[in-house]
Structure 1
Amino acid sequence: MSLTKTEKIERLAQLTAQHETTSGASLWREAFRRLKASKMAIIGAGIIAVFVVLAVIGPWIAPHSPTAQTWRGEVLVNQGKFVGPRAENWLGLDHLGRDMFSRMLIGARQTLLVGVVSTLIGLTVGFLIGGFSGAAATLGGATGKRIDSVIMRVTDMLLALPSLLLAVSVAAVLGQSLTTVMIAVGVVQVPIFARLLRGSMLAQGGTDYVLAARALGVRRKRIVVTQILPNSLSPVIVQATLSLATAIIEAAALSYLGLGNPDPSVPEWGVMLARAQDFFDNAPMMAVYPAVGIIITALGFTLLGEAMREALDPKLRG
């Protein structure tokens, strides 16, 4: 029995959709299998897990108040000499006689908050801009392509600026605060996410399942929302993981430049590092501890992000 043209198109769409669903599920299963077998992913995930746990439970396990100048007299007697690790102060004291270990624990939460919030800001705004631009370029015809062109030229201008310079400019305009740091670092991430999502959507726009859906007369908005967008999220998820590492480093850089929290008594690794520069000659360990914390945490997110990128890369699938 021969099929009509409409029935053939419907059958083609069903087979294509089934193939894409199976392929998508297989891709994620294969990616997860590769992640479990990757030493880089395991190490990165382990570092992140330790960092998150310490950030969450830090206030409950900190042996001393991070702002209490309990041993200030002892520091004054030593004429500003750094008091190193000992039984009651595992990492020693800072220049005001505060427990460094407690400040590092509490500061981990602030550092995690800055990294996560700034990345969410960049991801959300970039997702909206890139999604709209990608949808316009993929299914919007000539008008949509013009809209996409304008949006991408603005994005290119933002990408042309050095990220730290852009972040400093935003922070300088908004004023000195921890919220300003989050917004400034988030703004830097916006064009990256926008460009990435838009490019991924353009790649998905020419696939068989999109062509089949358009041949069936499915509305363009529905194609974008239910087909193109969900299949374009893999590289964005990977970039979000990598951006967390970048956000932590850039937030620390802004704090180091004096654009972070104006209250130095509030423990945050970037602020602690900035304050420690005044005492580096006499107390270098005040800078070493937060610097090592930032480096190791950024390394964890970078390792996991790179492992995810390799696991989701079709060219590397065996």
Structure 2
Amino acid sequence: MTILTNKADKIDRLAELTQSSETVAGSSLWREAFRRMRSSKMAIIGAAIIAAFVLVAIVGPMLAPHGPTAQNWRSEVFPNQGKFVGMRGENWFGLDHLGRDMFSRWLVGARQTLLVGVVSMLIGLIVGALVGVLSGAAATLGGKVGRRVDTVIMRFTDIMLSLPSLLLAVSIAAVLGQSLTTVMIAVGVVQIPIFARLLRGSMLVQGGADYVLAAKAVGIRRKRIVLTQILPNSLSPVIVQATLSLATAIIEAAALSYLGLGNPDPAVPEWGVMLSQAQRFFDNEPMMAAYPAIGIIITALGFTLLGESMREALDPKLRG
């Protein structure tokens, strides 16, 4: 009896030491990653672009010199004759085909673009994480039945991944109807299998770690092992993917709005809608399309640069 007690005490101590070392290692990993990112030009540029975009999205509508829907200069624009008003002191980006101030619409449209991108990413992240946790826990600690559940979930995920993301988003948006909420849901659903498979794979790797074996030996319940041990140590790649998915979400949301599946009110400024409206007048006034396109490209570039720098900082295989 004494021998069994001493053995249990040793295993319990081993579990505590393993958990403590993982916590310290995880904390050190993030500190080291942050240090590397601070010295990375790619990370600094990406963070600066994102900060500027978020600042414009938050305070832009308050700084807009004119109403984004006000057609104050419609008499000065004759799109049928190819006559547009370009950049001038009163209108920094010129006027669109209805005599509205392009700069004001660009500022207000940044908020709509950020809102759609963030909400879409959160939908994909939350639902995908739940699916990934269920599948990963079933595959790691669920036994024979769990592996069957994992197989069913992953095959369904593979079906979604086999479809082109934009085609899937367009199909979902077409079924749900034209609205800004539809765009968020459609883009978010496309992101779900990406997060699910990524988190599931990360949990499978962590499931074979020593600290999990120690927790099993001590007799900790499976649910607690998943939630307190495996899941927290599996989130690093998911966080990186969330940053990269923001860039994809912004581009795909703009594409859906460009195709006419976004906000049914064309007067509400959004960069994808502005691109769609500028298409008809591209030959006469290409800058109408250039401003929202540049905004989309630079914003997506910022999130991509930051996400890639985070991936390199956290991945030991890519460290110099």
Q: TM-score, normalised by structure 1?
A: 0.97
Q: How many residues align?
A: 318
- Structure-2 change in CA distance of 1:80 and 1:72 (3 Å): farther
Match of 1:123 in 2: 125
Match of 2:316 in 1: 314
The alpha-carbon deviation at position 80 of structure 1 amounts to: 4.0
For the residues of structure 1 that align with 2:10 and 2:217, how far apart are their CA atoms? Answer: 11
Pick aligned residue for 1:9 from 2, 8, 11: 11
The alpha-carbon deviation at position 75 of structure 1 amounts to: 0.6
Pick aligned residue for 1:50 from 49, 52, 77: 52
For the residues of structure 2 that align with 1:7 and 1:33, how far apart are their CA atoms? Answer: 39
Match of 2:303 in 1: 301
For the residues of structure 2 that align with 1:228 and 1:45, how far apart are their CA atoms? Answer: 30
Match of 1:39 in 2: 41
Q: Which ranges in structure 1 are unaligned for 5 or more consecutive residues?
A: none
Check conservation: 2:79, 2:281, Cα contact below 8 A.
Answer: no
Percent identity over the alignment? Answer: 79
Q: Which amino acid is 1:219 matched to?
A: R
Match of 1:153 in 2: 155
- Structure-2 change in CA distance of 1:7 and 1:77 (3 Å): closer
Match of 2:191 in 1: 189
Match of 2:281 in 1: 279
Pick aligned residue for 1:66 from 59, 65, 68: 68
Q: Which runs of 4+ in 1 moved over 4 A?
A: none
Q: Which amino acid is 1:67 matched to?
A: T
Q: Could you list the per-position Cα deviations for residues 138-191 of structure 1 after superposition, in whole angstroms to 9, with x for gaps in the alignment? A: 100000000000000000000000001100000000001111111100010000
Match of 1:138 in 2: 140
Check conservation: 2:78, 2:84, Cα contact below 8 A.
Answer: no
- Structure-2 change in CA distance of 1:89 and 1:209 (3 Å): same
Q: Which ranges in structure 2 are unaligned for 5 or more consecutive residues?
A: none
Q: Structure 2 matches for 1:71-82, cutoff 5 A?
A: 71-76=73-78, 79-82=81-84
Check conservation: 1:66, 1:267, Cα contact below 8 A.
Answer: yes
Q: SS where residue 77 of structure 2 aligns?
A: helix
Q: SS where residue 67 of structure 1 aligns?
A: coil
The alpha-carbon deviation at position 103 of structure 1 amounts to: 0.3
Match of 2:203 in 1: 201
Check conservation: 1:80, 1:95, Cα contact below 8 A.
Answer: no
Q: Could you list the per-position Cα deviations for residues 26-60 of structure 1 after superposition, in whole angstroms to 9, with x for gaps in the alignment? A: 10110010111110000000000000001000111
Q: TM-score, normalised by structure 2?
A: 0.97
Q: Which amino acid is 1:52 matched to?
A: V
